[in-house]
């Protein structure tokens, strides 16, 4: 992570992805199933699947139906729904997400996951942990830790070639 002249946070998402790839490679076992949290986590799981040469298709998990702010948000902005192309019961799950912040999205994703069965274990790999936890959630693997003001958000973007970048949004 480097600072731009104006003090803006600059993150090299591709370099962080390479760090995540190295760490995920060490966490994998033959029983591990990748599951990406929509949408950034799903993008990461897709690319990890390809770069690691895995045969089992990664799953996608949507947190939309289990969010504690569902009454305010509804399904707005939800493009991908949960797709788990394997049996969750007894599986070793590696949940992948782009940014870990309050822990609320993760809690909702885990609730959704348990709607499909009881995994043997769930580990979490994230590209960036920005702190600010409101729930007791922690990543097993994190490529970077950054601090951002609460009024800003960090969004992962993906271009047509599948390369990642970050955008800092907010005041």
Q: For residue range 41-50, what is the model confidence (pLDDT) as tens digits?
A: 999 999 999 9
Name the token pair of 157: 């973007």
Share of the chain above pLDDT 90, in %: 78
CATH number of the domain at 11-70+80-170, please? 3.40.50.2020
Rounded to an integer, the average pLDDT of 33-39 is: 95
Q: Structural domain boundaries of the chain?
A: 11-70+80-170
Output the six-digit token pair for 101: 């912040």
Distances in Å between the Cα of 152 and the Cα atoms of 14, 77, 130, 147, 159 are 21, 19, 11, 10, 22
pTM of the model: 0.89
DSSP letters spanning 111-143: HHHHTT---SEEEEEEEEE----SSS---SEEE
Say what the pLDDT of residue 1 is. Answer: 44
Average pLDDT, the chain: 89
Q: What pLDDT was estimated at residue 125? A: 98
């Amino acid at each position: 992570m480097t600072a731009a002249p104006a003090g803006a946070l600059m993150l090299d998402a591709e370099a962080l992805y390479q760090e995540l790839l190295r760490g995920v490679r060490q966490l994998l076992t033959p029983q591990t199933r990748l599951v990406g949290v929509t949408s950034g986590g799903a993008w990461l799981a897709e690319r990890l699947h390809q770069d690691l040469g895995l045969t089992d298709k990664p799953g996608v998990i949507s947190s939309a139906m289990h969010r504690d702010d569902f009454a305010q948000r509804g399904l707005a902005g939800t493009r991908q729904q949960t797709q788990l192309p394997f049996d969750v019961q007894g599986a070793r799950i590696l949940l992948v997400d782009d940014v870990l912040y309050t822990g609320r999205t993760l809690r909702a994703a885990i609730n959704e996951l348990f709607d499909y069965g009881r995994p043997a274990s769930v580990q979490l790999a994230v590209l960036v942990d920005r702190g600010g936890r409101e729930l007791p959630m922690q990543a097993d693997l994190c490529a970077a830790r950054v601090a951002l003001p609460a009024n800003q958000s960090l969004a992962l973007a993906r271009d047509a070639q599948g390369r990642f970048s970050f955008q800092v949004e907010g005041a």
